[in-house]
Every structure is written in structure tokens, then in C-alpha cells.
Amino acid sequence: MKTLFNKNLIGRILLVLVLLSIFVLFSAYSYANSVSYDIADSVFRLHVIANSDSEEDQALKYKVRDALIEYMNSLCANISSKEEAINISKAHTRDFKAIAESVISENGYSYPVNVEIGNFSFPTKIYGDVSLPSGMYDALRVKIGSASGQNWWCVMFPPLCFVDVSSGIVPDESKNTLKDSMNNEDYNLITSSDEDSDMHFKFKLVELFENLKMQLAQN
């Protein structure tokens, strides 16, 4: 009788532990999903993909990037929202394509260019002292040729394409725009240093679940 009671007790304890684990896992996932959505909803990104990983094609990618950023800087100098950045990009898609094609032609290549605006998968990326977790982001994507080479990313809104990575600092103006577009916790999450263990843990949690979601989506 006592043995049966002990088995029932152990079974109940195990059940409670399983239910508690499910609750904790679900809570962590819900938090990560909510934060990821909020952050992604606040930024609009630029994605340039090279024709190949050859030295020449990678150099060409950076020339295309520089020309696009210069043009974008004149277009987006006074925008105040992600929606404005997307609308301006949609209105000038043909211009982006023409600029890329012109740079490619000037450098002696005839690669086709595809420009599209959509929701795409991005890995974790660091822009100076701002880190964006992996996830699905709205972006302007520019594909050069077969688009089988390494990628280059930046953020069109808020404007982080001009961050001096060597100094590791994002301009205050860009940070203020970023801060105005999201809640305080999300902002602190992507601007926190490794010394902030609580925020660092939360960032890694978001990163973990987003990477898992992307892997499952690919299978």
C-alpha cells in the first residue's frame, strides 16, 4: 500500500514538473515571439546579394551598395517612420534597379539585377553598438546576377547604414529615432552591452527561438 502511494506521489510530482516545464517554455516562446515582432515592426532593412563569392563579384557588390546608399541618403533624409521608408522605396524601385545596373555596366559586367520589397529572413546582425536579433524583417532586397554570393545588410530606417563600425557607435540621432519607434524594453534589449546579464539573456532567448523557427521553416 505504501509502495503504491509512493508511486502515485512520484507520478504526480513528475506531472507537475512536466506541466511547469511546458508553461515556462510557452512563456519564453511567447515573450521571444512578441519581442521579435515588435523589433521587426520598427525597422526597414536593405539587403544586397552578390553574384558570387569571387573577389571581383564581392568588390562589385560593395560598389553597388555605395551607390544605393548614396541615393537612399538623399531620398530618406527627412523620413520619420518605417512606413515612409517603405513607400519611398516602392516609388523608386526602378531607380534602385537602374542605379545598380549602371554601376555593374560601368565596371564591365552585364549581370541582371532584381529589386524586390518583401519580408525576408535575416540572421543576427550588429550595427556598431546596436544588435538586431535574427528573424523575419521587411526589406528592400537587391539581387545581382545569380545572387549566390555573400550578403550585405544594413538598416534603412532608422538610418543605420552609415554606422562607423570601427568606432562601434551608432549616432545619437539614429538611436533616438530607433527609441521613438519601439517600447523601452525592446530598445534596451538591442542596445544593451554584454555586461547587462538580464538583457543579454533575453536577447539570446529571442535569438534562440527565432533561429529555431527559421530552421523549422526551411525543413
Domains identified in the chain, total number: 1
User: What pLDDT was estimated at residue 148?
Assistant: 93
Please report whether residue 16 resides in a domain. no
Whether residue 158 is contained in a domain is answered as: yes
Q: What is the pLDDT of residue 201?
A: 56
Q: What is the pLDDT of residue 167?
A: 46
Answer whether residue 172 is part of any domain. Answer: yes
**Rounded CA separation 90/35 (Å):** 27
Give the mean pLDDT per block of 10 residues along the chain (219 residues). Answer: 59 68 59 64 89 95 90 80 90 95 96 94 77 85 94 80 54 74 74 58 59 59
* pLDDT reported for residue 143: 96
Indicate whether 76 belongs to any domain: yes
Give CA–CA dist 49/63, Å, rounded: 12
Burial call 30-40: b when 16+ CB within 10 Å, e when fewer:
eebeebbebbb
In this structure, is residue 51 part of a structural domain? yes
Q: Is 190 within the bounds of a domain? A: yes
- Is residue 88 one of the residues assigned to a domain? yes
Residue 71: give the domain boundaries: 43-218
Cell, residue 194: 554584454
Q: Residue 27: inside a domain, yes or no?
A: no
